[in-house]
Chain A
């Protein structure tokens, strides 16, 4: 199994540009999570989906952030326009969640730098 796949692994962009981060969850997993990690704020949950439906987006910091999951094998996190304070490592995680099993499998992350 290839695990959770994220692309790109590194992204450097200029303030004001649109950034799109991509995630391919593990096949068969029904929940997908987007996190942001910084030294100051730790690991923050941005949004999560179950069966492709957004469940809770209360962690999305601003309207500049949006996420979609058009099918079970693909999700995107978009930042438009990007700002320097968005610089962080963004993780996607998936889970084969059931009421008695709850483990999240994290991707390798995308390191975003906004200049």
Chain B
């Protein structure tokens, strides 16, 4: 019930291409879905987040698509750049009772070739 499943484990994209990472969750009480980005040697940092009252959120080249009925959400990176090469984690939480606890997916290592 608390799991968040993320795929693929790794992804290689050419510069300018679209990177797509998918996540699925089980707990219908989750109401906050962030994506974190981690560069080598650094801690993860919040990239973009969505709540289930909207189906899509866009910030620059990064877009979250959310499908509440399917209990799935995905990160799309348009015009992928070598600087986007990092590990991406999806996560989910329940506001109100979680004190900020996030359930993270397993992570996706993205490599963007020049």
Contact = CB atoms under 8 A, between A and B. Distances in A.
B80 interface: no
Contacts of A104: 44, 46, 100, 102
Interface in B1-36: 32, 34
Contacts of A31: 99-100
B96 A99 contact: yes
Interface residues of B, number: 23
Interface residues of A, number: 24
A110 B1 CA distance: 30
27 contacts: A4-B43, A31-B100, A33-B100, A33-B101, A42-B104, A42-B105, A43-B44, A45-B102, A45-B103, A45-B104, A48-B99, A48-B100, A48-B101, A50-B99, A56-B101, A91-B43, A99-B95, A99-B96, A102-B95, A102-B102, A103-B46, A104-B46, A104-B100, A104-B102, A105-B45, A108-B42, A108-B43
